[in-house]
Structure 1
Amino acid sequence: MASITITHEEIKPMKTISWKTKTNFVLQAAISSVLLPSAATIQAAEAYTLEEVVVTAQKRAERLIEVPISISTISAESIQQTGIKELKEMGDLTPNLQISQSSDFNSRITIRGVGADSRNIGFDSRVGVYLDGVYMGQSPAANQGLVDLDQVEVLRGPQGTLFGKNTVAGAISLISKKPGDEFEGSLGVNVGNYNNRELQGSVNLPLTDDTSMNVSANKTTRDGYIKNLFNGDKVNERDVVSGRVHLRSDLTPALEMNVSADYLTQDRLGFNGEPLTDTFGLFMPVSGNDKYEIYQNKSLNEDKTLKGGAVTFDYELDNGYSLKSITAYRSTEIIYDAEPDYSAADFLNVFYADSYKQTTQEFQLISPNESNFKYVLGVYYFQQDSQTDRVANGGYGEVPYLGLTMANFGIDASQAVVDIDGAVDTESYAVFANGTYDLTERLTLGVGFRYSEETKEVDWSIDGTNSGAFDIATTRVDDSRTDKSFAPSLSLNYALFEDSYIYARASTGFKSGGYNLDFINTSQVEAGIEFDEETVMSYEIGYKTEFPQQNVRLNMALFYSEFDDYQVNQYVDLGGGRTALSITNAATVITQGFEMDLTYQPTANLQLTAALGLLDATFDSFPGGGSEGSDASGNDLPYAPKVTASLSGQYYYPLPSLGASLLLRADYSYTDEYYITINNDEDYGLLDGSTVDFGQLDSYGTVSARIGLEDDGGSWAVSLWGRNLTDSQHLDFSNRDFFGTILGGYAMPRTYGVEAKYNF
């Protein structure tokens, strides 16, 4: 949901609006009578002005309603009031956005049914996450902490012209708060069930008249809510320490410099799903098959370190033009354990160690805002070194039920079963332009393009000589590939009347090809592990408005996108209990649907918001893409619910005697059922005729709420909060692992706590 939350202090009387013609007034009244609650009701209420929402999606500050892109924004206050702490918790707030809830190792972000994880260093994601214009990197870096942010912008649809790399589905832009000119700071504490403990603090320091610095830090710990009955561990915990330093300096009246550095470390017992079957997907598990329980001889470690820095220069020229330079370095390292047998037996364990180090440089020339022709010209350079080290080790234990050991599969448990080591070096160059031209007072033409060249050089080896019956490949790949792309966009934006716009947009996107560098078998090597680039052509029409009373904001969009050579990363069922990690190109994928978000401020103290996403995402043509080579054409895309919706209400009740206000907030979100396999399975049958949930996840709804007391002067706030208050225990994810084990992960149970914050 595009939640633009404001406090009662920020409300101001409705401004007087001059209509250009009587026709425009009649047209707007007609639209309001159809799309909104009773216009008479709105007019009868005391009207207030919503705080203007400004976005930087097109590389310059613009009003949200004037940008011809489907965008949802989440303000800093909305982040605070909803209680979300990580990027993965944002999915409930935004229509047609899904973010995986399992391990950060393979975080998956899906927009309009299209997304991917990048647990494979030869495969890229489809949704780019950016912090102040800097690409954050692959899947392990996606789940950022939402600390010290000014706003989050979710851009739906291909954003190749504006953001470039890995944005064929969309982009998420995190915008941090800049240091201010006053000494101020805050201290916060948050405690809750599951032994949740969070400490955070920030301070803004004016160093000179022209230079300020902001320092923020956060530490969060929380017990896991899934118990390993084998050793008593509580897994899927949180243990994160993060910090950020941001220095802003006006070097001259025309030149501003921003220098930032951030750091995050996470050391926790992770979770990749609890087994719903035995190791080979034949029977129910021996034990640990109740919700929130596992029975494994080893709990899984997940250690992650993210760090980076950026230097940005903004230079204002005398003629109104401006120059921007963004230089950045990012490093992502993750160490991750897996237990593919999911049992008490010491049968097989896998160690993953992946790292990504990247350098980026971007230059922009931005034209003056006052001209009828406004544009941004830019060049971009990206260089990334990716390394992986993965080892599968066997043990001497027996798998329950069948009593099988590694020796039964022709494997010597005293040696590594599979050993993977390698690197992918990526280098990308791009030139881009994005501009708008006012054809008339009402009609604006938008044109953009991005030309890019990306080269991947791979030096990677896999040794599966001890894999026995599993036939893991033994080979070395020393190769390179270069992909070139020209991605244009075109839009028309028409002002129906003041503060109401209808737009049409056509845009393209590009995702480079790569290599399947994972636990692949011999037949896959023989067939070839290289896959082609994919492209998308997307069409969108939308309507954005703020109504005369200026207490209603409405955004709507219809979209249609066609993907060619869509890259599919999946576990393929080969039959006979055999699986393979496969990356192939589906011929055509089509996604189409509708998005709407509405903000209504009937009084100074009450705000209501609603959002809706409707989606139809299918494999239009994918012969041979299903289980055992079946035709997947016509099947739904995984992780693409047909309906997502949310509602929220926030009310401030003044308490003059206390010099404070009582905050009451409630949020509801709904996600329709959806498939998680390309084959569109609905359950999984076991040998005894019973079934387990797999293939299709049921619809669910969650409720969150907050009751708080806030000082009218902004000095302090204390609140009670709760998430998933109905204690919904729906499946968040399900998948099939290497041996055929069916896995599931249930939603985090009801959580609640107390949060206090002091501002000075």
Structure 2
Amino acid sequence: MKSIICKRTTNFLLQAAVSSALLSGVAAVQAQESMLEEVVVTAQKRSERLIEVPISITTLSAETIEQSGVKELKELGDLTPNLMISQNSDFGTNIVIRGVGANSRNIGFDSRVGVYLDGVYLGQSPAANQGMIDLAQVEVLRGPQGTLFGKNTVAGAISLTSVKPGDEFEGSVGVNVGNYDNLELQGSVTVPFTDTTSMKLYGNKTTRDGYIDNVFNGDKVNERDVLSGRVQLRSALTDSLEMNISADYLEQDRKGFNGEPLTDTFGFARPDEGAAKYKISQQTLIEDKELKGASVTFDYDTDGGYLFKSITAYRDSEIFYDADPDYDSAEFLGVLYTDAYEQTTQEFQIISPDDSSFKYVAGIYYYQQDSTTDRDAIAGTGTVFFPGAGAEVPISVFGIDPTMKVVDIDGAVDTESYAIYANGTYDLTDRLTLGVGFRYGEETKDVDWSIDGSNSGAFRIATTTVKDSRTDTSFDPTISLNYAVFEDSYIYGRVSTGSKSGGYNLDFINVDQVEAGIEFDEETVTSYEIGYKGEFPDQNLRLGVALFYSEFEDYQVNQYVDLGGGRTALSITNAAEVVTQGVEVDLTYQPTVNLQLTAALGLLDAEFDSFPGGDAEGGDASGNELPYAPKVTASLGAQYYYPLPSIESSLLLRADYAYTDGYYITASNDEGYTLADGTEVAFGEVDSYGTISARIGLVSDAETWEVSVWGRNLTDNDYQNYSFRDFFGTILGGYAMPRTYGVEAKYNF
């Protein structure tokens, strides 16, 4: 592996190593006073201790999620090294692990990171940004996970585990109020019907005003307005057979946000209005989505210790997106999207007993998805400034009839896939364990899609119909060795492979793209990882270190390319080769019963090893860094409970710091955009930034109530966290949410 550690990160690692050694010595003295809770994960489809699983994993408990103030999936990046999640519209949520990710705003293009709830794949980008509510644990698995988590997990997987119904009557109510008129109401109740059957209901309603002023119409945009709920039924049908039924629903209606225009419509000059941070002047973007799903799981335990599992699931996701691609207050052009995904999955598993030297999980998996899209570009009567004419012009200047649709897209992609998989471990000796696994899959995409750009004039949007079918087959093996150096201390090596199916570029494509072909090939990855996991002494200190090197072949790149004259096009091409490599460190230290310290570090070097012609302007992108791949990500956390016996409660003190190094947004590695007057706007490159969050609370010893004061981004850091170039050449950027704070109370009964 070639060197990726610069001088500053080398010093950081040396300091961390010395600190770890000192902490372990202190822990030996204080071992009798404290003990870390054992962390159990289900990354390999069975319950196992975290330190015994040869995969780089970050786990977040229910307490960590609650006390850190994480409310949405997109906020997980603050707590997890080498994880980036886009902060703009949910329509194109982009999850990046180890520099590798993608959004699926295109029904012919899949994401690279799978998000799963209780083992069920939640679907494409519009469904990814889940609320972090009523969860027992979150596991972020880095590297290819196709052997166990299925299709299109070449970068990794995020596994969410919900809180299951208990066998006693209990419940909770909570309220959270804060600035920007934030109001969150939540409640749950578990009702046992019999000794073997119980039901749980959970509901959440969150509203918050936007923090970006639209000076055109007075709206506050980038608001939150979400209603969600879940109902679960757990029943022990016999002593050996348990049934779990779950149904969930999420509805979001909000004035969304795609980015602040840093230039005028055609990227010529700065905008006349709304140019300041957190201000825009344009038609308001609407983003409404509805997510729902249900699953039925049967667990059957045999007398011999085998577990047979069946998971049947249905998911339905629909998002409506009303965008303003000219980013101007004039009604020049509007775009309406309605995308929907309906999927059914069936999985059967057999899990061997835990008391054998040979343990395995084997299964078969079926996935069927019907995805549809209806997209319209609608001309308006307003005018925008066009530098080619030196004046305000209507859309008719570009050869467009404003009385007709500019572009009409309608179509569907039906996906069907089958897979068989197995993953097992064999104890070669008392200390050495061999792990092997594979997944064989076949996936077919049937596309019936049309685009009518006959009224697009100078923008030359294509007019064509695509009726086609493609099938990808893959065999993805994995092998690992796990060695117990001594009790509760393991080193491991792992080689894993993965694949991401090919597809079609079904978006606002132009005539030239149709002629070149809109189909792209399957991508594959081979990843090598060595690591260490240990708990010592007496479990006061937990340390995990992973070094990885991954090679991607035919890597699929989704980006805007420059067509000249203020025109761009959405392109999907296969890069010849991508290499990502780096280091991850996770540390948890509990010097006393009441104090816990955490630290995490991610070092990353991710680049296009070979990508001729991959630059947005057609140049060679070989050697360029991957987008959203900061070289350093780090976090520090401290949580302390101070006993107050006089009032039978404890004072909770928590603080979190997250750091992200600078990174590029585009495959071209742009470092700014020069306007006609010679000045530059921030585009393509994001500077490093850090944020601080904290919480002070009072928690009853009986855990019946809790009241907290919380704050996020306490330094009010207004750093830019993304930028991009849209259809007309507009340069846009987004900035971190300003300081937020509030009071949260919860009562358990």
Q: TM-score, length-normalised on structure 1?
A: 0.95
When the two chains are superposed, the root-mean-square deviation of aligned CA atoms in Å is 1.0
Structure 2 counterpart of 1:602, one-letter code: P
Question: Alignment partner of 1:161: what SS?
Answer: helix
Is 1:314–2:299 an aligned residue pair? yes
Is 1:725–2:714 an aligned residue pair? yes
Query: Number of aligned pairs?
Result: 729
Paired position in structure 2 for 1:377: 362
Question: Alignment partner of 2:75: what SS?
Answer: helix
Question: Alignment partner of 2:563: what SS?
Answer: strand
Greater Cα offset, 641-650 or 576-585? 576-585
Question: Alignment partner of 2:392: what SS?
Answer: coil
Aligned-pair distance for 1:300? 1.0
Paired position in structure 2 for 1:293: 279
Paired position in structure 2 for 1:447: 436
Is 1:393–2:390 an aligned residue pair? no
In the alignment, is the contact (CA less than 8 A) between 2:27 and 2:537 conserved in 1? no
Whole-Å separation in 2 of the counterparts to 1:359 and 1:448: 25
Question: 1:35-91 deviations in whole A, cap 9, x for unaligned?
Answer: 432544333335421110000000000000000000000000001101111101111
Is 1:154–2:143 an aligned residue pair? no
Whole-Å separation in 2 of the counterparts to 1:104 and 1:33: 42
Aligned-pair distance for 1:573? 1.5
Question: 1:218-240 deviations in whole A, cap 9, x for unaligned?
Answer: 00000000011000000000000
Whole-Å separation in 1 of the counterparts to 2:28 and 2:235: 47
Question: 1:696-731 deviations in whole A, cap 9, x for unaligned?
Answer: 001000000000000001110000000000001011
In the alignment, is the contact (CA less than 8 A) between 1:32 and 1:39 conserved in 2? no
Paired position in structure 1 for 2:187: 201
Paired position in structure 2 for 1:41: 26
Which runs of structure 2 are paired with 1:462-501 in the superposition (5 Å)? 462-501=451-490
Structure 1 counterpart of 2:723, one-letter code: S
C-alpha distance 40-317 of structure 1, shift in aligned 2 (>3 A): closer
Aligned-pair distance for 1:575? 2.9
Is 1:613–2:598 an aligned residue pair? no
Structure 1 counterpart of 2:229, one-letter code: G
Structure 2 counterpart of 1:649, one-letter code: A
Whole-Å separation in 1 of the counterparts to 2:621 and 2:362: 42
Equivalent of 2:668, from 665, 673, 679? Answer: 679
In the alignment, is the contact (CA less than 8 A) between 2:103 and 2:125 conserved in 1? yes
Which runs of structure 2 are paired with 1:677-716 in the superposition (5 Å)? 677-716=666-705
Paired position in structure 1 for 2:63: 77
Structure 2 counterpart of 1:397, one-letter code: G
C-alpha distance 285-239 of structure 1, shift in aligned 2 (>3 A): same
What is the percentage of aligned positions where both structures have the same residue?
74
In the alignment, is the contact (CA less than 8 A) between 1:514 and 1:530 conserved in 2? yes
Whole-Å separation in 1 of the counterparts to 2:146 and 2:28: 42
Question: Alignment partner of 1:78: what SS?
Answer: helix
Question: Alignment partner of 1:627: what SS?
Answer: coil
Greater Cα offset, 43-52 or 116-125? 43-52
Question: Alignment partner of 1:141: what SS?
Answer: helix
Question: 1:575-619 deviations in whole A, cap 9, x for unaligned?
Answer: 332211000000000000000010000011111000000000000
Structure 1 counterpart of 2:70, one-letter code: I
Aligned-pair distance for 1:33? 6.9
Aligned-pair distance for 1:550? 1.4
Structure 2 counterpart of 1:743, one-letter code: L
Paired position in structure 2 for 1:19: none
Is 1:519–2:508 an aligned residue pair? yes
Question: 1:127-173 deviations in whole A, cap 9, x for unaligned?
Answer: 00000000000000000111111000000000010101110000000
Whole-Å separation in 2 of the counterparts to 1:185 and 1:344: 48
Greater Cα offset, 40-49 or 583-592? 40-49
Paired position in structure 1 for 2:160: 174
In the alignment, is the contact (CA less than 8 A) between 1:606 and 1:649 conserved in 2? yes
Is 1:303–2:288 an aligned residue pair? yes
Which runs of structure 2 are paired with 1:70-469 in the superposition (5 Å)? 70-296=56-282, 298-400=283-385, 402-469=391-458
Greater Cα offset, 393-402 or 170-179? 393-402
Is 1:623–2:623 an aligned residue pair? no
Aligned-pair distance for 1:627? 2.8
Whole-Å separation in 2 of the counterparts to 1:283 and 1:474: 32
Equivalent of 2:517, from 528, 531, 534? Answer: 528
Whole-Å separation in 2 of the counterparts to 1:146 and 1:629: 41
Whole-Å separation in 2 of the counterparts to 1:550 and 1:422: 56
Q: TM-score, length-normalised on structure 2?
A: 0.97
Whole-Å separation in 2 of the counterparts to 1:38 and 1:227: 48
Structure 1 counterpart of 2:104, one-letter code: S
Whole-Å separation in 2 of the counterparts to 1:749 and 1:337: 25
Question: 1:374-423 deviations in whole A, cap 9, x for unaligned?
Answer: 00110000000000000001112110363121111000011000000000
In the alignment, is the contact (CA less than 8 A) between 1:345 and 1:400 conserved in 2? no
Runs of 4+ that moved beyond 3 A = 31-35
Whole-Å separation in 2 of the counterparts to 1:345 and 1:36: 63
Is 1:65–2:45 an aligned residue pair? no
Which runs of structure 2 are paired with 1:518-667 in the superposition (5 Å)? 518-667=507-656
Structure 2 counterpart of 1:579, one-letter code: T
Structure 2 counterpart of 1:472, one-letter code: I
Whole-Å separation in 1 of the counterparts to 2:320 and 2:327: 19
Whole-Å separation in 1 of the counterparts to 2:42 and 2:738: 37
Structure 2 counterpart of 1:99, one-letter code: I
Structure 1 counterpart of 2:207, one-letter code: T
Structure 1 counterpart of 2:366, one-letter code: Y
Question: Alignment partner of 1:41: what SS?
Answer: helix
C-alpha distance 105-32 of structure 1, shift in aligned 2 (>3 A): closer
Paired position in structure 2 for 1:14: none
In the alignment, is the contact (CA less than 8 A) between 2:627 and 2:663 conserved in 1? yes
Structure 1 unpaired stretches of 5+: 1-30
Whole-Å separation in 1 of the counterparts to 2:18 and 2:742: 42
Question: Alignment partner of 1:677: what SS?
Answer: coil
Structure 2 counterpart of 1:176, one-letter code: S
In the alignment, is the contact (CA less than 8 A) between 1:126 and 1:511 conserved in 2? yes
Aligned-pair distance for 1:548? 2.1
Question: 1:435-469 deviations in whole A, cap 9, x for unaligned?
Answer: 00000000000000000000000000000000000
In the alignment, is the contact (CA less than 8 A) between 2:559 and 2:616 conserved in 1? no
Aligned-pair distance for 1:178? 1.0
In the alignment, is the contact (CA less than 8 A) between 2:27 and 2:541 conserved in 1? no
Structure 2 unpaired stretches of 5+: 1-15
Aligned-pair distance for 1:34? 7.9
Is 1:505–2:514 an aligned residue pair? no
